[in-house]
Structure 1
Amino acid sequence: MIAALAVLIILLAWSAFSGALDRRGITSALFLATAGLVVGLLLPSAFEAPTDLTTARLIAELALVLLLFSDAMRIDLRALRHQLSWPSRLLLIGLPLTVLAGVGVGLLVFPDVAFASVILLAIMLAPTDAALGQKVVEDTAVPSRVRQALDVESGLNDGLAVPLFLVALSIANAELEMSVPGAVLMNMWTQIGGGVLAGVGAAIVGGTVFAFADARGWVGAHWRQVMPLATALLCFAIADTLGGSGFIAAFVGGLVFGRVAGRARSEISVLTEEAGDLLAAVTWIGFGALALVLVLPSITWQVVLYAVLSLTVVRMVPVAVALAGRRIRLPTIAFIGWFGPRGLASLVFGLMVLEEGVPEGNILLSTVVVTVALSILLHGLSSVPLVAVYHRWSTAHIASDPNSAEGVPARMPRLRRERPGA
């Protein structure tokens, strides 16, 4: 009960001052995680880790599912088909290179950690976070093509990392019963195939039912908001039943539902967005109160060093390689490379490692937690000033070269914080 009261009080405090703090670069994740950390240190008995970590994982998963679904609903598929160059290179080239770079750095920083565990760590910290990166994605001062690339990348890369993570988890626990390439292909087929099948199937059913009923005026005004929320959860449930990735199912399902729903998608995604934001807020409070407090005694200089390198070299160099040859200027490459925050997906992976009892799991979890904590702090505080600097540069650059890669327009959907009719 004390934990619930603490969570509610923190949520009320953030709600009251959220606008003023957000304008100053204090993001919800930064405020909520810090508040959770304070509560966890002052009232350590309020949160019981063995029970709450399982609950925290479910809340984090559901938050990510709802945010991925609602974000995907806003994407214009017809426009995206002609603008896949940047996102596809970030996903198909940048993501694998990020994993390889993470493995290389891990072998240097953690020479005594098993090779399989190093691979597992690199995969856990490869995906970027759609929710933490939203502040940059929704800022119209950033060119639309840059925002779209970051939006699509963060929406898909965590789902693509799931099959690799499951294989690495099996190897680390010495449970793999087939060859590594075979296991990777099998998991990719199951996770991606099951996720896509669940997302497309649930979204077609949910979207068609909505479109049919809404066109005839059968849906009550308030219940219009419930249908996409229910469809998002249905995507997740079916994917889990099929053994597929709930994250891929949510993102693909959101794309399909938005396409079927048509123009109405901008009006009916509000409840799904808000529910995802609320669950994410609870996750960040729990992150501060549980995860940070839990790993504080095991933080070493190696853990901090890997976290710093993961947010910089391990992310930024692969992005530069992936975008090479696209006529993209260095400031844009650096901007995209820096704004790859780690968040909910990495935390979910970390909690799974802890539950599975992976050897050296404490080191892995500590590194994930420290990396996410640093990402919340550094990406949150740097978003306002770096967006301002990049805006000045990009405005001048596009004005001098209207045909530049950054100047190519990309149709951006309604921003998450922008309400229909506003």
Structure 2
Amino acid sequence: MIENYNLFLLVCGIAFLFGAVFPIIFKPLPLSLPMLQVTFGIVIGYLWLSLSFLDPMEHGIIIEKLTEIVVLVSLVGAGIKIDTPLSWRLWRPTVRLLLITMPIGIFAMAVLGYYAFGLTIGAAILLGAVLAPTDPVLASSIQVGPPNTGGEDAPRFTLTSEAGLNDGLAFPFVYLAIKIAEAYNEGQGFSGELLWSWFTHDVLWKIGAGLIVGIVVGKALAKVVFSRHTRETTISQGYVVIALTLLAYGLAEYIHSYGFIAVFIAAFAFRRSEHEHSYHEKLHDFAEQSEGLLMSLVLVAFGILIGQGLQSGVELTWRVYIVSFAFLLLIRPLGGIIALTGLNLPRTEKYAISALGIRGIGTLYYLSYALNHGFFGEEDALKLWVVCSIVILASIFMHGLSAPKLLKMTANKPRS
């Protein structure tokens, strides 16, 4: 990659240009920006034969850290943009997606991974865990608009809040997969003690502590920004966004809780403080532009990875395609419909929420994070990368084409 560094910068510059001119040139077309950038990356990866091969097995740490930053910025943006107050009636669809739809997706994909691909138990659970959460980065185009811009319809709000929370709530299952793989590597196997340790520490403690850290950081930073001493002073939104992100994430990870949960909750708690203040709009604009730039870089790199894989002849069996589309077209939609059954929502809104479970950069982060622990075999790791890459690629194009039509069906129905 170093020998092609300048050309790679040129490729990234073109990708950023796509983002700049997309609303002007490409908006009338049935295309999304992620579709355009990934396609560009695939073409570059397939035709640029002198480019160093982006091997995810060898560059797992780089993938983990880069995607981690993108997801963090996206979580802050999602938390800041939500106008809907914390109300059980309004948040009930989100809670159901988190507690019903996500476990259904994890279980179904774990079973398919075990029987269709011959994955070990730990790797099968990992497959379900990394694919279950809706991606907060690629789902930004179907989320609510900037702060204080009017009523939020149910589909956009539910998808925004789901994407903000389920990235952190998928982590317990990622850790379960890691612990099971570690136990089998050490010849111990699955045990009740392992399950109890996982439930008390990785579920109860880490989720609870992440929530508390998020609330404390969000409220504390809001007191500083909106205090009477600083009200007349312009505080750089860039500093605040970065401080909010790193304080919440760093503190949560320091006490061994879930940083993703803490970051989203911190952003939402900050947003509820002086929630009508115009400063939130400035924060959102900075977070959105930062997220867009980072997303462009990751999507082009992901496209290059896919293109190089096609060029090198990576084997894609019929099982990969069937399982990938089964997940996107059957498992997630059916899981969503089951979760939303009984709620007072129009049928079109239930279907839109259920169908638009976009998979993306969050999946790349979780997968690289888990594999970097070194407890999964090379054969399992390769299968996981192949399946997850195809699911993400299919999701980018399938949801990119269908999202505008689905959301148009539910338009002009603000939440009361």
Instruction: Report the TM-score, using the length of structure 1 for normalisation.
Output: 0.84
Kindly indicate whether residue 334 of structure 2 is the aligned counterpart of residue 301 of structure 1: no
1:6 alignment partner in structure 2: 11
Q: CA deviation at 1:218?
A: 3.0
Kindly indicate whether residue 61 of structure 2 is the aligned counterpart of residue 41 of structure 1: no
Unpaired runs of 5+ residues, structure 2, are none
Please list the CA deviations of residues 28-50 of structure 1 after superposition, one character each: whole Å capped at 9, or x if unmatched: 21111111122222224434536
2:37 alignment partner in structure 1: 32
Unpaired runs of 5+ residues, structure 1, are 396-406, 412-422
Kindly indicate whether residue 71 of structure 2 is the aligned counterpart of residue 56 of structure 1: no
CA spacing shift, 1:268–1:331, aligned 2, 3 Å: closer
Q: CA deviation at 1:307?
A: 0.8
Please list the CA deviations of residues 232-289 of structure 1 after superposition, one character each: whole Å capped at 9, or x if unmatched: 1222222222222221111101111112243232233211221122111111111111
Kindly indicate whether residue 319 of structure 2 is the aligned counterpart of residue 310 of structure 1: no
2:157 alignment partner in structure 1: 148
Conservation of the 8 A alpha-carbon contact between 1:127 and 1:161: yes
Q: CA deviation at 1:356?
A: 3.3
Aligned counterparts of 1:214 and 1:318: Cα–Cα separation in 2: 49
Kindly indicate whether residue 392 of structure 2 is the aligned counterpart of residue 383 of structure 1: no
Conservation of the 8 A alpha-carbon contact between 1:77 and 1:255: no
Conservation of the 8 A alpha-carbon contact between 1:207 and 1:260: yes
CA spacing shift, 1:282–1:306, aligned 2, 3 Å: same
Q: CA deviation at 1:351?
A: 1.7
Kindly indicate whether residue 368 of structure 2 is the aligned counterpart of residue 362 of structure 1: no
CA spacing shift, 1:281–1:373, aligned 2, 3 Å: same
Kindly indicate whether residue 141 of structure 2 is the aligned counterpart of residue 123 of structure 1: no
Q: Helix, strand or coil for the counterpart of 1:204? A: helix
Q: CA deviation at 1:214?
A: 6.5
Deviates more, 1:58-67 or 1:254-263: 254-263
Task: Summarize the alignment of residues 245-264 of structure 1 with structure 2, pairs less than 5 Å apart.
Answer: 245-262=258-275, 263=277, 264=279
RMSD: 2.7
Q: CA deviation at 1:196?
A: 2.1
Aligned counterparts of 1:119 and 1:258: Cα–Cα separation in 2: 35
Q: CA deviation at 1:127?
A: 0.3
Aligned counterparts of 2:233 and 2:21: Cα–Cα separation in 1: 37
Aligned counterparts of 1:350 and 1:373: Cα–Cα separation in 2: 15
Q: CA deviation at 1:21?
A: 1.8
1:283 alignment partner in structure 2: 298
Aligned counterparts of 2:208 and 2:381: Cα–Cα separation in 1: 29
Conservation of the 8 A alpha-carbon contact between 2:63 and 2:364: no
1:188 alignment partner in structure 2: 203
Aligned counterparts of 1:214 and 1:128: Cα–Cα separation in 2: 40
Aligned counterparts of 1:292 and 1:168: Cα–Cα separation in 2: 30
Deviates more, 1:354-363 or 1:333-342: 354-363
- Matched to 2:348, the amino acid is P
Task: Summarize the alignment of residues 72-111 of structure 1 with structure 2, pairs less than 5 Å apart.
Answer: 72-76=79-83, 78=85, 80-110=87-117
Aligned counterparts of 2:299 and 2:330: Cα–Cα separation in 1: 26
Residue 21 of structure 2: which of 2, 6, 16 is its match? 16
Please list the CA deviations of residues 120-159 of structure 1 after superposition, one character each: whole Å capped at 9, or x if unmatched: 111111001123223233489x971222111111111111
Q: Helix, strand or coil for the counterpart of 1:62? A: helix
Conservation of the 8 A alpha-carbon contact between 2:109 and 2:128: yes
CA spacing shift, 1:20–1:213, aligned 2, 3 Å: farther
1:132 alignment partner in structure 2: 138
CA spacing shift, 1:24–1:185, aligned 2, 3 Å: farther
CA spacing shift, 1:216–1:383, aligned 2, 3 Å: closer
Please list the CA deviations of residues 363-397 of structure 1 after superposition, one character each: whole Å capped at 9, or x if unmatched: 01111111000000110012233334x24xx77xx
Conservation of the 8 A alpha-carbon contact between 1:210 and 1:261: no
Conservation of the 8 A alpha-carbon contact between 1:354 and 1:362: no
Kindly indicate whether residue 215 of structure 2 is the aligned counterpart of residue 208 of structure 1: no
Residue 272 of structure 1: which of 287, 291, 296 is its match? 287
Aligned counterparts of 2:388 and 2:8: Cα–Cα separation in 1: 24
Q: Helix, strand or coil for the counterpart of 2:90? A: coil
Task: Summarize the alignment of residues 221-260 of structure 1 with structure 2, pairs less than 5 Å apart.
Answer: 223-260=236-273
- Matched to 1:168, the amino acid is A
2:338 alignment partner in structure 1: 321
Please list the CA deviations of residues 165-213 of structure 1 after superposition, one character each: whole Å capped at 9, or x if unmatched: 1111221243689422431331123431342233223323322211126
Aligned counterparts of 1:242 and 1:49: Cα–Cα separation in 2: 34
- Matched to 2:399, the amino acid is H
1:198 alignment partner in structure 2: 213
Deviates more, 1:74-83 or 1:342-351: 74-83
Q: Helix, strand or coil for the counterpart of 1:363? A: helix
- Matched to 1:114, the amino acid is T
CA spacing shift, 1:122–1:11, aligned 2, 3 Å: same
- Matched to 2:364, the amino acid is L
Conservation of the 8 A alpha-carbon contact between 1:67 and 1:131: yes
- Matched to 1:258, the amino acid is R
Conservation of the 8 A alpha-carbon contact between 1:68 and 1:155: yes
1:420 alignment partner in structure 2: none
Please list the CA deviations of residues 78-136 of structure 1 after superposition, one character each: whole Å capped at 9, or x if unmatched: 354441221111111221122222233334422x2223321211111100112322323
